Amino acid sequence: MFKKKDKKDQAQSYEISPEHILEVRNLNVRISVDDYLLHAVRGVNFSLKKGETLGLVGESGCGKSVTSKEILGINPDNCKSEGQILYRTKSGKVLNLLELEHDGATYRAIRGSEISMIFQEPMTAFSPLYTIGNQLSEIILLHDKNATKASARERVLEMLRKVGIANPEKRIDQYPHEFSGGMLQRALIAMMLCCDPDLLIADEPTTALDVTIQAQILELMRSLQKEFGMSILFITHDLGIVANMCDNVAVMYLGEIVEFGSVRQIFHNPCHPYTKGLLRSLPRMDQNRDERLYIIDGVVPLPVDMHPCCGFHDRCGECLVGICDTQQIPEYEAEPGHMVRCKLMEQGVKHHG
């Protein structure tokens, strides 16, 4: 039976690769729901370098948001985790975040000041009872003990200018309902960057925006990343955004990373049938108007009573019956830095797009 670990506010120090700011090792997250135990994240491994953008891609229900929230320690109490999430703090110490108390002083000091998160829906990220300036200033005053209300206000004005909000001297004293959706998303980005974080987690940050505003927000994030040198974990189901934003891509399905590689490797040499299906689902400029978009058959199943197998086997047209549906699938290296969790790599079967 899976048991919750006893966590301490002070964790021991670990070692990770010098160029990495984050290493996730064999992360498992199980969620208790009524009489069921959902294995939402299964043995996830990935790393993130300083200044790098990693795209975490997959359909809804694949475990992307659960993974990201576990990094911040904000999953609900019915989520139990094991493994390691190793993070290099600004002081240079490497901590396993899973060993920290979610409400402890160490984790509270890291959230917001070192690791920030942009959530999917900016309309619900702000309290309607306080002004935008008040809510952004609160973050600065909470994490910077030397800050005053006056200095925090100046910092907020500076960040509002950086994210392209016109007339920030007026906007800082307005309430969230007086902002458009695009402006709220900019204000949310400003809030997340007020304390100069080293790691920014962006969970579907442009889902609720139209394509014009979406392009502006993505360009804003790229420019701010270059200015602040932060790393970004970009969670999305939109491969078009991944192509423009990310350095590396981790394709996630049913709680597992089934393929990992650079943007070039994933887009030009996809190896896992699921990755190939996602890419085939993208609309193309040369596509016949009468041609229907490709759809991957079936839906992501609930991760209940999981047995050793490829999670994608029941939706895969290339499933090796008796192997894919009965065995735990290891990772194979398609090329240096390009990892694929698919038995077809061993069998030498060519994938057909």
Show the domain range for 181: 124-194
pLDDT at 199: 94
In a domain, 244, yes or no: no
pLDDT at 6: 47
Of residues 145, 130, 146, the one with CA closest to residue 191: 130
Identify which has the larger pLDDT, 133 or 185. 133
Contact indicator for 219, 162 with CB cutoff of 8 Å = no
| 76-119 confidence digits (pLDDT tens) | 999 999 999 999 998 889 999 999 998 888 998 898 889 998 87
Is residue 250's pLDDT more than 80? yes
- How far apart, in whole angstroms, are the C-alpha atoms of residue 135 and residue 127? 8
Judged by average pLDDT, the poorest of 70-74, 89-93, 211-215 is 211-215
CA nearest neighbour of 206 among 222, 194, 193, 195? 222
pLDDT digits over 128-147, tens only? 999 999 999 998 998 888 88
What's the domain count of the chain? 2
Give me the pLDDT at residue 347, please: 62
- Answer whether residue 157 shows pLDDT above 70: yes
36-49 and 20-33: which strand pairing? antiparallel
Could you tell me if residue 260 is inside a domain? Answer: no
Whole-number pLDDT of residue 297: 85
Check residue 208 and give its pLDDT. 65
Pick from 205-219, 226-240, 329-343: least confident? 205-219
Average pLDDT estimate for 264-288: 87
In-domain check, residue 183: yes
Q: How confident is the model at residue 196 (pLDDT cuts 50, 70, 90)?
A: confident
Bridge partners (DSSP) listed for residue 95:
13, 87
The DSSP output letter for 44 is E
State the Rg of the chain over Cα. 21
- Determine the pLDDT at residue 247: 95
Q: Is residue 133 part of a domain?
A: yes
199-203, strands of its sheet edge to edge: 115-118, 199-203, 231-236, 53-57, 248-253, 256-262, 338-340, 332-335
Q: What is the pTM of this model?
A: 0.87
Phi and psi, residue 335, nearest 5°: -160, 165
Task: Classify residue 153: in a domain, yes or no.
Answer: yes
User: What amino acid is encoded at 13 in this protein?
Assistant: S
Average pLDDT, the chain: 87
Who has greater pLDDT, 273 or 185?
273
Q: Which residues contact 302 (CB under 8 A, 6 or more apart)?
A: 36, 38
Domain closes at, from 157, 172, 194: 194
User: Is residue 117 a part of any domain in this protein?
Assistant: no
**Residue 330 placed within a domain:** yes
Residue that terminates a domain, selected from 132, 165, 194: 194
Q: Which of 25, 28, 71 is nearest to 47 (CA)?
A: 25
Mean pLDDT of all residues in 163-177:
93
Phi, psi of 162 (to 5 degrees): -60, -35
Q: In the listed set 141, 168, 194, which residue is the last one of a domain according to the structure? A: 194
Tell me the two tokens of residue 117. Answer: 């998160």
Tell me the per-residue pLDDT of 26-71, one tens digit each, with 9 for 90 and over: 999 999 988 889 999 999 999 999 999 999 999 888 999 999 999 9
pLDDT at 10: 55
DSSP string, 140-204: HHHH-TT--HHHHHHHHHHHHHHTT-SSHHHHTTS-GGGS-HHHHHHHHHHHHHTT--SEEEEES
Q: How far is CA 251 from the centre of its chain?
A: 11
Query: Both ends of the chain: CA-CA distance in Å?
Result: 42
Does residue 75 lie in a domain region? no
The residue to which tokens 């900019």 are assigned? 186
